[in-house]
Structure 1
Amino acid sequence: MQLTLKINGEDKVFIAPFIKGRLLRNAIQLSKETNFEELTEETLDKLVNYVVEVYGKQFTQDDFYDGISAPDMITTITETIHQVVGTTNVKQNEQVTGLDGEQHGEAVDLVKN
């Protein structure tokens, strides 16, 4: 995963390091608690802090707020959450299909949903 922010007038690219299991847990919790139709400043700060954490604190909350365009902000946050969750699903999918070399449709469908 990577993210580009404008910092000091320059585009800087950040690559997410190792995605810890705790980040998956936090993504699930944030998804349950967040109503994207009625965001508050507090909730938005939690979401931005989550992105900062996913990228290993290579940038600050202020760097994120000031370095991303407003129209891209919510999309970037939700894509980050989906990528953390999606990365886990892909790995589970690979494990299910790799057990005996055959693909098990029912198990794969459960993982995808």
Structure 2
Amino acid sequence: MDIPENAKTPQDRKKKKKPAGKRASVEFRGVTYTARDEDALDDIDVVEALDNQALTVALRLILGETEYERLKENLADPDTGKTKGSDIAKFWKQFIAENQVAKN
């Protein structure tokens, strides 16, 4: 069955586009984290870091050093002071889900 060219896409399947001029951000565990600039997710250095599976490097590039250190501090276990990689991965998954880069 062919789908007509003018058929509408259900709203729940359309990708959300980031408003122009707005920096990507996410609220995670009650704290809001914001990207260093509006193009941080479309930076080739970030793409290269992700290609190399260097998530922490990518997060430092996206958030900036101060915001990244704040993230690590807020996610750290209060007893050990250590931040789990699994918590960083959860943050990343939510950050990307809420800040899709519009594709042309």
Q: Please, what TM-score do these two structures have when normalized by structure 1? A: 0.41
Whichever structure has more helix as a proportion of its residues is: 1
Select the structure with the greater relative contact order (CA < 8 A; seq sep ≥ 6).
Answer: 2
Q: Please, what TM-score do these two structures have when normalized by structure 2? A: 0.43
